[in-house]
Amino acid sequence: MRVPLGSGVSTAGVRVVVAAALLSSVSLAACGGPQHTASTAVEGASGRAVTSEAEPDAREGTVAPTQGKIPIEDVARYPLPGMAFLPSAVRPDPAGRMLTYLWSEDGSLTRQLYAHDPNSGERKLMFSPQDGGATEQNLSLEEKLRRERARERGLGVTSYQWAKEANRVLVPVRGDLWVQDGLHGTPRKIAQAEGSPCIDPQITRDGEWVAYVRDAELYVVAAADKGPGPRQLTQGARGTGRTHGLAEYAAQEEMDRSHGFWWSHDGSMIAYETVDETAIPVWRIVHLGDAEPSWEDHRYPFAGAANAKVELSVIPREGGTPVAMKLAMDGESEIYLARVHWTPAGELMAELENRAQTRLQLVRFDLRTGEPELVLEERSDVWINLHHMFEPLERGEGELQGAFVWGSERSGFRHLYLVARDGRVIRPLTQGEWIVDSLVAIDETRGLVYFTASKDGPTEMHLYRVPLAGGEITRITQEPGMHGVVMDRARAIFVDSHSSMDAPPSVSIRMADDGRLVHRVPVPPDPRTAALALTPPEIVQLAASDGTPLFGTLYRPGPEAGPPPWPTIVSVYGGPHAQRVTNSWEQTVDMRAQYLRGLGYLVFELDNRGSARRGLAFEGAIKHDLGHLEVDDQVAGVQWLVAQGFADPARVGIYGWSYGGYMAAMALMRAPDTFKAAVAGAMVSSWDGYDTHYTERYMGTPAGNPEGYRSSSVMSHVEALRGDLLIVHGAIDENVHFRHSARLIDALIKARKPYELMMFPSERHMPRGEADRVYMEERIRDFFDRSLRRP
């Protein structure tokens, strides 16, 4: 599972992404995986109905809903406060003179492409589709599903791509493809949907050609004005259950790989994957809220069952017979195609991962025969965390000819290594008990490597540089908080997207050598920021039962709540490959936490063992036994709150989404003396019902770890349930199927345990309808009021 958009969770990969919204308003996913609801009141077999009005609790008496300082509509509204006018996808243009970015003039989710002149400060509309672009209503099913995989909430223009070495930009809009020459050129359509959208378009480095997938086949089209029209490049997949050039579900959802084809640097060749999912049984999802009968069928790879079969081939841009590359690892019957790379010298390389995800091989292919040559291999007793830290040198000489910079967790922490063409490590570039988050750029002229990392603490992310020859690491960004960085081609300046709990997001241009401010991109003030006057939370540190330091975020209620101890609600994610507690604005605009704080609750978030950005030993402590150690750490967090005099131990609740929903349910059942109520949103109830790549990484297979699967299932612990449970789920969630909630409900009925259910018939893993989200926040508020405020 990947983290749900709007969950306030940072993913731990090469590229650490700070989610733009918080779990408070639920967004996309968790388990890389689990997360995402028109809504109806549904009565549980032994439970109470959830209705649009706060109803009396027949067992405990009537409790009127409390009212907070923040309007509940603000909890569910996107963009979040301080982010309405924030530019996104900010990039220098190829000439390095202008910035381009997606921006909304009215502060909505609908954005267009703008150009910004740092010298004059002028912002100019660069590209705007005549029909307004993408809306939730006019997208095809294929586009909607890719948005789910990408955790994309934006509308209008949602992406664009500059050619790396030419003044030409590619803009996809509602399945059509547009290109524009420079900032002032006239947009021209080069390909259109024709009943099926143009998916995953990519432009060559020289800007001359664009490739894309339509209706399961790969196409190419000239980007130049009056150039050749679209031409189908591959044959034989359409209508067979196979696809050419599209990333399979597991790659998009769990491997952070959205592409299924790759241009060579010179644009003469394309490597592409063939995906065959016909061995995977169909999982049908019925649209229960539609007026007419409708459904969608998905090939979903359940843990322990069949995966997609993947092949890699290379074909000339002009067409011809594809050459198949041999995908194999010694001693492995099944592998994943994790990454594909072209080098500047025209060599094709790939990262192959075994199904157990304990081995990763970097191989180089012979383009004539398809035979692979092993370059290096990574092995782990925990698991392999995939990343994007592979960057070949372009002008290396001597032992640096064909060398590359590579990311590895071989030391227990992800660091950068300079590696020779034959896979020999020339030298480590970074080391220590901290992790490199991303490889930003290599400046070969000056012999410098730029990267972001947690070197100065796991709740911060900064830009650093280190000499390619090895030596002292220099920190470049100085402002406390989280920094996302994009560097220009000349490696002279970088774009710094920064925020902290005290500072809303800002975008600035800075000098690469010392971080000196060159220009701050003006961002109009968001009136909601001033109107809501949100108080930032505080970061605290405590110890797990074994003494391991843990970090948490504390939202104390205001003075009107009276003196502590206060009724307490724990906001949890808790899963691997993600982090919640950071010095970022996302913490301050966790709107559900802020809303509940305004109602007099103490709200607490804790990154338990298993969370990301703390090293393999910290993350791998949960291997093969999910929902156990994580719950123990959440209990330790509550005990710490009680010991500080903050929390009322008799009134503690917990909520979460996706993996967090799983954690909330498990905490209620495995720690009934600590937690009295739980809201479990879009949860995985049993890991045999989630996908292969995510689940098997942490749990192995059901056949190989039957006891782990049994004890990690929520259903195994229903007899211990004593508190109140509210289950929330979207009926058309194609990531964490509604089946997970249904299986738990069936077990609760058989155990004669009460529960409440809030089902959203027309929502997926990430609730998108604002009315649905408002309704959900009202019901969650009323649930906790009944459960934690009763006499």
Is 658 annotated as catalytic? yes
Which residue(s) pair with 107 in the sheet? Answer: none
Among candidate residues 88, 500, 506, 658, the one labeled active-site is 658
Among candidate residues 765, 772, 782, 785, the one labeled active-site is 765
The C-alpha R_g of the chain, in whole angstroms, comes to: 26
Cα diameter, the chain: 80
CA triple 159-164-167, angle to 5 deg: 85
Write phi, then psi, for 703 (nearest 5 degrees).
Answer: -70, -35
Q: β-pairing, 188-191 with 493-500?
A: unpaired
Euclidean distance between CA atoms 153 and 147, whole angstroms:
8
Q: Which amino acid is at 585?
A: W
Q: β-pairing, 724-730 with 677-681?
A: parallel
Euclidean distance between CA atoms 348 and 342, whole angstroms:
5
Euclidean distance between CA atoms 789 and 780, whole angstroms:
13
Among candidate residues 733, 772, 782, 785, the one labeled active-site is 733
- What the block records as the tokens of 404 is 């590359």
Burial 13-30 (b: 16+ CB within 10 A, else e): bbbbbbbbbbbbbbbbbb
Q: Which DSSP string do the residues of 17-65 spell out, in sequence order?
A: -B-SS-GGG--S-SSSS------EEE--TTSPPP-SSPPPBTTTB--PP
CA triple 487-4-607, angle to 5 deg: 85
Residue with tokens 């009107």: 560
Q: Is the dihedral of CA 505, 96, 158, 127 positive or negative?
A: positive
Residue 594, CA distances (Å) to 81, 586, 643, 651 in order: 12, 12, 23, 18
| Burial of residue 772 (number of CB atoms within 10 Å: 0-12, 13-18, 19+) | buried
Residues contacting 18, CB < 8 A, separation 6+? 10, 482, 484, 499, 582, 584, 586
- What the block records as the tokens of 441 is 């750029």
Q: β-pairing, 756-760 with 724-730?
A: parallel
Q: CA nearest 725: which of 639, 776, 654, 659?
A: 654
Q: Which DSSP string do the residues of 331-370 spell out, in sequence order?
A: T-S-EEEEEEEE-TTS-EEEEEEETTSSEEEEEEE-TTT-
Active site residues: 658, 733, 765
